[in-house]
Structure 1
Amino acid sequence: MSIQRIVSIAFLGLAVSTAQLAIAQDGADADDLRFARSLSNAFNQAAEGIEPSVVHITTEATVQPTGRTIFGRQMRLAPQIRSGLGSGVIVSFDGGEPFILTNHHVVDNADKLTVRLYDGRELEAQLLGSDPSTDIAVLRIDASDLRTARLGDSDELSIGDWVLAIGSPFGLDQTVTAGIVSAKGRTLPGGDAQYHEFIQTDASINRGNSGGPLVTLEGEVVGINSAILSRTGESAGIGFAIPANIARAVMESIIDNGMVERGWLGVGMGDLDPVVRRELGLSPDEGVVITSVVRGSPAEKAGIEQGDIVVLANDRAVVGGINRLRNLIGLNAPGERVNLRVLREGNAREVSARLIDTATGERLALGVTTYERLGVVGLAMTPEIASELGYRRYVRGVLVYEVTPGGLADEAGIEPRDIITEVDGREVKTTEELNERLREARRTARIGLARGRLFGYVDIDFD
């Protein structure tokens, strides 16, 4: 074979190989393009599905500024109207009447709320209620043909899932940004941090996005955008949304009761030691240890013990720390049952407790006593309580925790934080002694009180 033929065959082989490589590359590019178009289509469908349910919220509040005269005296200036903006999403409770979910901080202290719908209609909104602890508020508008969004199960989210944030950043309606779920169960400094359980996302969130929805590619609302972490006040790729499961529970309570009624179990909680977690075969951040049980509480009645490790609450995994368990318990209404799976000495146990309201639970935890005849709720003074109240020395007596409106104590001028030190000249040092003194009093009683640095008496007429 001639050298020329060998070279020709070699070039032909190279040409074939190059052509095959080009075809392979074209095929890879086509596959990539089809995948990109498929993902883009998923974004399009999710955005188009949610946009009619997203609203722009404008707030107005009247403020009374003050100034000083040339002589230094304080004076009132003309009232001013301050406006704010935010977002919201239209949802329904069990497929019934539509409501608008937004943030508490968007509507807080507003005198007037105006909602602009996707179709351009502007309507005045009514605030049904809000919960500062979770930063959720619920609005109502009088309108027909409202498109409601689907609330998803935020517990089903995984880190890395695609999400969209929709709202009105800087007043720009229906702005859609995309990102992923960066983390779950985040706590932020400030506010009522004990109820924080944020979804973290890198989808761009800015001022005006607050109250808007965080949405999956399936078009389900899994969060309510609430906050960002930034040195400039603008998006730095660290945004936070309130999980939809929390928003749903708060909304239902507000619709039913006008406020959030939290159930109380009566336990102290602590983070589980990583070594113990590994020994029990639990996943990272799974489980919360019970550090204390209040005597007479629903927890004690259910048989929960100090040292128990809670891994399930109402069939929801306790993954994410103390706040996770606190929300799984507290967002159930008083009177409802919470079913827990606990590990005790390595063995799983199922326990069920009927929750009570938080106010009653706090009284139980503090060991307060109700004095119906007098119309007060009190607890025994301790050196620690005296110090917290600012007393330089320990004042023995019974601290007035609550005063019944319209009761005898209220009419006599007794106030919360007063200390009852004596009845009819006889010293009172314990709650039992106050009970005894009041039982012995007949038609009238002279009550000795300490209030700050002041000591005095009030007369009670029991007739």
Structure 2
Amino acid sequence: MTRSAILAVFLAFTVTNPAQMAFAETPQVPESRAEIQLSFSPIVKETSPSVVNIYASRVVEERLSPFADDPFFSQFFRSGPARQRVQRSLGSGVIVSGDGLVVSNYHVVGEASDIRVVLSDKREYKGEVILADKDADVAVLRLDGASDLPALPLADSDALEVGDLVLAIGNPFGVGQTVSSGIVSGLARSGSAIPGGAGSYIQTDAAINPGNSGGALVDMSGRLVGINTSILSRSGGSNGIGFAIPANLVREFTRQAEAGQTRFIHPWSGVSTQSVDDAVAEALGLDRPEGVVLSELHPQSSFATLGLTAGDVLLSLDDQPILSPSDLEYRLSILPVGASVKLSALRAGEPVELDLSLIAAPGSESIDRVEITSSGPLGGLVVADLTPALIDEYGLALMSEGVVLLDAQGPSARLGLRPGDRIVEVNGTEIRTTKDLQSVARQKIGMWLITFERGGRLLRMRVK
């Protein structure tokens, strides 16, 4: 066909199809108000009254000498009484119960002596922390005299998917309540790059800044999906990488607070695990990396009673995949002690479905505290024989044994020992029980050599 013939066909088509020409050239006009004004404002109006501003203060002691808390150098640098100052913090919180329960971060209110909570309608209440956990960075407050407050419903955070739209509501930099939008950027985040390190966080690119801590991360149905807690930033401002504590953990904290618990009780795993990567998967004969592999099991662990041993792989808990060691601990934390859940695992290389009983760490019910009453430098130490509950509380190695320090009073307060230190040896005598320490403490000698463990390191100090 010649060029002239092709041109004739094209012109004939355009003349005989004017509707198509009009469609191609004329943009569509919005036909409704909803199409003209797309906005998050209905969700904001519904949820923002449930987000509060928190003003907290506490009295802290400042040591004039940098060696004041050092277990060795403190005996040479006596700085006298510490100087006190008031430390103030600003954050946010979320009303989760109409009768005055508010959830925030531990780092906002956990150690505060005075807490003032201001609602979006300018009402003010005095707040009191009734349940808190530093490791989880969650605190539950009770507002004095509050009732009929606008509580925010909690979503199932396990139903979140990457790409879901979310709003972050809080009080950044104290400028007043602010809303930022974004998406869920990632799920089950953990690791050394994340402030706090532990946990299983929701990652979002909704702007989170200082003051947003404890505020709400809400979905497009106006439900709480997370409590904003930290950001990854070199400048201190939002870099588009923020983290939130999942609502399912908030739900368990709220349940325990309403039940009158003053200390968060979570099921105890009693195991040490590591992630399964390509190398580990190949060594275990797995088709692909999945789950976590058991490396250590405490004899009293529920996992051990099921016949699981080191080298077995945990795949899922309560039908949710176990993505990392911290994700396993999170999965346990959102479940109540006493429940039984389905565990999928590879035991000796074979897939099994097991019923796992969730127990509290043995020793949680009571602690056998022993005070050293001798006149020597150890006088005033309050110690206890190690139990799984104390190992869990102080973050000690899973198989730790011996004696742990609970408090130091009297003469021993000057030694620089801290709660959670494990007393290993005194004057060449191994300390296995509190009775061993009581016996050694009665010695009448001029120089004492004390060996203790702190943060996985063995330290020694001499005391006259």
**TM-score, normalised by the number of residues in structure 1:** 0.70
| Counterpart-to-counterpart distance in 2, 1:269 and 1:65 | 39
Instruction: Give the structure 1 partner of residue 277 of structure 2.
Output: 273
1:140 to 2:142 alignment: yes
Q: Percent identity?
A: 33
CA deviation vs aligned residue, 1:6-51 (integer Å, no higher than 9, x gap)? x999878646756634435646x447x979839935x233222211
Distance of aligned partners of 1:310 and 1:56 in 2 relative to their CA distance in 1, 3 Å threshold: same
Instruction: Give the structure 2 partner of residue 60 of structure 1.
Output: 57
| Counterpart-to-counterpart distance in 2, 1:159 and 1:403 | 44
| Counterpart-to-counterpart distance in 1, 2:364 and 2:10 | 91
Instruction: Give the structure 2 partner of residue 189 of structure 1.
Output: 192
| Counterpart-to-counterpart distance in 1, 2:426 and 2:208 | 56
Instruction: Give the structure 1 partner of residue 20 of structure 2.
Output: 20
1:124 to 2:126 alignment: yes
CA deviation vs aligned residue, 1:47-79 (integer Å, no higher than 9, x gap)? 2221121111122334566889xxxx9799996
Report how far residue 127 of structure 1 moved: 1.6
Q: How many residues align?
A: 397
Instruction: Give the structure 2 partner of residue 309 of structure 1.
Output: 313
1:224 to 2:206 alignment: no
Query: What's the RMSD between the two structures over aligned residues?
Result: 4.7
- Aligned match for 1:45, one of 42, 46, 53: 42
Q: Quick check: 1:165–1:205 contact (8 Å CA) kept in 2? A: yes
Q: Give the secondary structure class of the aligned counterpart of 1:349.
A: strand
- Aligned match for 1:347, one of 340, 345, 351: 351
1:249 to 2:256 alignment: no
Distance of aligned partners of 1:297 and 1:192 in 2 relative to their CA distance in 1, 3 Å threshold: farther
CA deviation vs aligned residue, 1:395-438 (integer Å, no higher than 9, x gap)? xxx953368999xxxxxxxx97556779xxxx977969x89xx9
- Aligned match for 1:215, one of 213, 218, 222: 218
Normalized per residue, the structure richer in helix is 1
Q: Quick check: 1:152–1:221 contact (8 Å CA) kept in 2? A: yes
Q: Which has the larger radius of gyration?
A: 1
| Counterpart-to-counterpart distance in 2, 1:116 and 1:148 | 15
Structure 2: unaligned runs, 5 residues or longer: 1-6, 66-77, 374-381, 387-400, 410-417, 451-459
Q: Quick check: 1:334–1:357 contact (8 Å CA) kept in 2? A: no
Instruction: Give the structure 1 partner of residue 109 of structure 2.
Output: 107
Greater displacement, 180-189 / 338-347: 338-347
Q: Quick check: 1:65–1:76 contact (8 Å CA) kept in 2? A: no
Distance of aligned partners of 1:168 and 1:91 in 2 relative to their CA distance in 1, 3 Å threshold: same
Q: Quick check: 2:64–2:83 contact (8 Å CA) kept in 1? A: no
Instruction: Give the structure 2 partner of residue 460 of structure 1.
Output: none
Report how far residue 301 of structure 1 moved: 1.6
**TM-score, normalised by the number of residues in structure 2:** 0.70
Report how far residue 271 of structure 1 moved: 0.9
Structure 1: unaligned runs, 5 residues or longer: 1-6, 364-368, 380-397, 407-414, 457-463
Report how far residue 261 of structure 1 moved: 1.9
| Counterpart-to-counterpart distance in 1, 2:461 and 2:88 | 44
| Counterpart-to-counterpart distance in 2, 1:212 and 1:83 | 18
Distance of aligned partners of 1:429 and 1:114 in 2 relative to their CA distance in 1, 3 Å threshold: closer
Distance of aligned partners of 1:35 and 1:274 in 2 relative to their CA distance in 1, 3 Å threshold: farther
